[in-house]
Structure 1
């Protein structure tokens, strides 16, 4: 399992997020091709409700302590509650209703 997938799995298991993005930004730094050393994480979970930013970051760092000690050189964290995420970015629009597609009967 690569480092990015390992980060995703750990954060999904621990925080049960409504939204999670783990982005490998290593290519933006002076590292070998294919490196997994610099990441950005966007994490939206109700578990952050009532928590200060520093405590959210500490919680993520605790979950990823092994990766931070061994593989990850830099980790940018963007942590939100559901309410904060929706007030900043809104909600994704609903998909349009299905008109039948391939199952539509010929007229």
Structure 2
């Protein structure tokens, strides 16, 4: 399973979002710090879910990181979040 698919799967399971878009932006960071050459190091997530909408920005980010777990967050360099 790709990292993009794993991120999507974990977020769908945790939040049942009305909207979810996971974009692999690793190609935009090739050769930069954090690029491990895997092509799966930088991601952008747009998620809309009722559970997240009730939280403040920091709480939303923490909830998303918790849902992804250390297994995912330890393997990526950057995760840009647009959550609500």
Residue ranges of structure 1 left out of the alignment (5+ in a row): 81-107
Deviant stretches of 4+, over 4 Å:
none
> What is the match of residue 73 of structure 2?
68
CA distance in 1, matches of 2:59, 2:67: 12
TM-score by length of 2: 0.86
Matches within 5 A, 1:94-105: none
Matches within 5 A, 1:14-29: 14-29=14-29
CA distance in 2, matches of 1:19, 1:68: 21
Matches within 5 A, 1:46-65: 46-65=50-69
Higher relative contact order (CA 8 A, sep 6+): 2
TM-score by length of 1: 0.69
Larger Cα-atom Rg: 1
1:64 Cα deviation after fit: 1.4
